[in-house]
Amino acid sequence: MSFMHYLRAFYGIVWRELLRFLQQRERLLAALVRPLIWLIIFAAGFRAALGISIIPPYETYITYDVYITPGLLAMIQLFQGMQSSLSMVYDREMGSMRVLLTTPLPRWFLLVSRLFAGVLVSLAQVYTFLLVAWLCGVELPVWGYLVALPALVLTGMMFGALGMLLSSTIKQLENFAGIMNFVIFPMFFASSALYPLWKMREGSLTLYYVCLYNPFTWAVELIRFAFYMKMNWEALGIVAGCTLVFLALSVWAYDPSRGIQQRKVAAPA
């Protein structure tokens, strides 16, 4: 298998995902409406009630809508990760996953390519949301839009790898909605997306620790700091570590010598 074979296969997988995304315009709409409701309605209501003190990476007082924007970006990526996972379960049920898995290339490469394709889709959603947010008056540092890109790629990979891992454990499409709700909402609410951790600590020490050990919190912080052109090394380490762990477990779960796929790819004939 030549380098060009890998390159063409990677291109093919990414191209197919983007094509599917472009054909599902309602998917982009749904991806935007959800965070925009938070930004326009929720943030407007809480802007007056909640004041955000000066905490890193901010150097001045900020409005609440500016504070929650990184959290909403992470939410978009988390939903995309789950959507990608749903798409993998769907492909498996519909059979098209077999075409991918019987390709004469390493399975880890096929899965990482698929993961990266999902990240590109999530970036398209994130930057469209940022454009709409900017039109709504949410302004972030201009260079932050560019500097945050590597952070968004990494967080997208983490959520995509988590989704891929979940897809290996879900036997049927019908079970997916329950799993999604079980993962998305606790991850989002028990994090620093909506309120800073110090504020959480004042309210409940237990909840504070839950938020602290939630990878979503660190994804949000990595994005937040990146937008202000600062590096949060702790967040980078945790997000990178979680990405590797989720990815390794996914590759393990999809390995043909393991048991997980065997129960699902082919029913006994």
Partner 1 sequence: MQKEAPSDGSDRVPVLSVKDVSYWYGSKHALDDVSFDVYPGKVTALLGPNGAGKTTLFSLITRLFDAPTGRIEIDGRSASESGFKALGPLGVVFQQPTLDLDLTVRQNLRYFAALRGLKRKEADERMNRALDALDMKERIAEKVRSLNGGHRRRVEIARALLHGPKLLLLDEPTIGLDDPTRSAIVRHIHALARSDNIGVLWATHLFDEIEPDDDLLVLDRGRIVARGEAKEVVAETGAKTLGGAFKLLIGGDAEEDVAA
Q: Is position 171 an interface residue for partner 1 (rule: CB under 8 A)?
A: no
Closer to partner 1 by Cβ: residue 135 or 266:
266
User: Which single residue is written with the structure tokens 């891992």?
Assistant: 165
**List 48, 54, 142, 267, residue binding partner 1 (CB under 8 A):** 267
On the question of a cis peptide bond just before residue 57, with omega within 30 degrees of 0, the verdict is yes
Assess contact for 66 and 140: CB atoms under 8 A. yes
Residues 120-142, buried b or exposed e (16+ Cβ, 10 A)?
A: ebbbbbbeebbeebeeeebebee
Where does this chain touch partner 1 (CB under 8 A) — which range of 4-12, 78-86, 131-139, 151-159?
A: 4-12
CB nearer partner 1, residue 105 or residue 212: 105
Is 30 a residue that touches partner 1 (CB under 8 A)?
Answer: no
Q: Single out the residue of 223, 162, 157, 147 nearest to residue 192, CA to CA.
A: 223
DSSP 41: I
DSSP state letters, 42-73: IHHHHHHH--B---TT-SS-B-HHHHHHHHHH
Which residues, 6 or more positions from 91, have their beta carbon under 8 angstroms from its beta carbon? 97, 100
- For partner 1, the binding residue among 98, 173, 175, 178 (CB under 8 A) is 98
Q: Which stretch binds partner 1 (CB under 8 A): 51-59, 102-110, 163-171, 175-183?
A: 102-110
Q: Which stretch binds partner 1 (CB under 8 A): 105-113, 177-185, 213-221, 225-233?
A: 105-113
Give the Cα separation of 200 and 194 in Å (integer).
10
Q: Does 25 bind partner 1 (CB under 8 A)?
A: no
If one asks whether residue 261 binds partner 1 (CB under 8 A), the answer comes out as yes
Report in angstroms how near the CB of residue 84 gets to partner 1 at its nearest: 15
Q: Does 102 bind partner 1 (CB under 8 A)?
A: yes
CA distance 47 to 49: 6
Is residue 206 involved in binding partner 1 (CB under 8 A)? no
Q: Shortest gap between Cβ of 217 and partner 1 (angstroms)?
A: 36
Question: According to the binding rule CB under 8 A, does residue 2 interact with partner 1?
Answer: yes
Identity of residue 41: I
Q: How far, in Å, CA of 88 to CA of 13, rounded? A: 13
Contact segment (CB under 8 A) with partner 1 among 77-85, 103-111, 144-152, 225-233 equals 103-111
Q: By CB under 8 A, tell whether 262 contacts partner 1.
A: yes
If binding is defined by CB under 8 A, does position 26 make contact with partner 1?
no
Given the rule CB under 8 A, which residues bind partner 1?
1-2, 4-6, 8-9, 11-13, 15-16, 19-20, 23-24, 94-96, 98-107, 256-257, 261-262, 265-269
